[in-house]
Amino acid sequence: MDEQIKEEIAKLKERFQGRKDSAASLEELAGGPIQHHFPVDLWQLSDSELDGEMGKRLSFLNDDIDCRPTPDITSHRRFIGPAIVLFKKMIFKIFRPYSNTLFVRQNHFNDQLVAFHLATFIRLRRLEEKVHALEQHEQEIKEQVEDLLGPKHEAD
């Protein structure tokens, strides 16, 4: 009975591993976007899953380059709300010259960081392509060497 269960579990593992390997991403495997509120262990992801994760994170960084606060200041309070909004607008106006200096520097940093990550991503792709080409070239050379050595060395 235990052997039967072990064999069935092994078959299921193989089947699901095959499905995972053939899927382009975890979202495709799950049939939709995956919402998770825990840190993703990047070391456990396959290459295609890492590509997707890098793309999502790079796009998130790109969307949030500008870190300046939004100009819309509102309040949900009925009576005191307009006074709170007016006070906040005055405070923001007073401190804007000081905060803008910081925000401009932070925005420049964010822009450079996103560009750096994109360049790193592109360079990684190019290096992977070169490694793949070198592996193919190595395989071709091995085949040529085997053809040159002939059947005499195959028996050794």
pTM, whole model, 2 decimals? 0.52
pLDDT of residue 141: 95
CA distance 138 to 15: 33
CA distance 121 to 129: 13
Q: Which of 113, 106, 103, 94 is nearest to 68 (CA)?
A: 103
CA distance 132 to 140: 12
* Three-state secondary-structure class, residue 30: helix
Lookup: tokens for 80: 């005191």
pLDDT tens digits for 14-69?
888 887 777 777 677 777 777 766 677 777 888 888 888 888 888 888 887 887 77
